[in-house]
Amino acid sequence: MLFSDTYKTPASPAQAYLRERGSKFLAYVFPVTNEREIKQYLIDLRREFPDATHHCYAYKLGIDDNQTRINDDGEPANSAGRPILRAIQSAGITNVLVVVVRYFGGKLLGVSGLIQAYSDVAVSALKSTRFIEKEVCSYYHLIYPFDSEGEAFRFLKQQQATILQQTLSETGEVQVLFNIRLSKINQLMSVVKDHHKLKIHYLYTI
């Protein structure tokens, strides 16, 4: 394999505080798994701090750098979201949202000062965060006729897959949602060819 099948992510929310030339910077770290959760955290923070000058953030989802986003929320371009994202990347973590709420203190910090402040408070918040290691898993649907249920469950057990949900369609087919560790996928795909009544459809990897 070219990459690890584990990743590091926050175990729980964390926060940090920085005061710079009168401005207050409040950083919040959240473990997340999808954009819906991210949007909800952002809504909650805006409700909690409706009078804040800026709500800047960055997040990373997944096992590569294809699902990242930054937002400067009115600060000069790349002076807030970018340094927050760099702090996330330097920590070597994923499935994380870092939001920095700023109250302007009346004195301009300049672009370099903003970059330093947002970076420092994000790094501080991440340093106070407890991280856990999780397995990278791919999620699939396994579809089979009802009379092949015994074969399907033996197959999933042999591949050390985790069954998450099972539903029965009107046509009599069963659909099972399961996940499996990334390092076991090649074996899964090789073996399923011998089970002609079992159909596998890939969903996503995380």
Q: How many separate helices (H) and strands (E) can be counted in the chain? A: 5, 11
Whether the per-residue pLDDT at 1 is higher than 50: the answer is no
pTM of the model: 0.80
Question: How is domain 6-133 classified at the architecture level of CATH?
Answer: 2-Layer Sandwich (3.30)
Task: Delimit the CATH 3.30.230.30 region(s) of the chain.
Answer: 6-133
What number is the average pLDDT over the span 61-88?
94
CATH 3.30.70.240 residue ranges of the chain are 137-205
CATH code, residues 137-205: 3.30.70.240
User: Which residues are paired to 120 by β-bridges?
Assistant: none
Average pLDDT, stretch 106-129?
97
Long-range Cβ contact pairs of 154-163 (< 8 A, separation 24 or more)? 155/191, 155/192, 155/195, 155/198, 158/191, 159/184, 159/187, 159/188, 159/191, 160/184, 161/188, 162/137
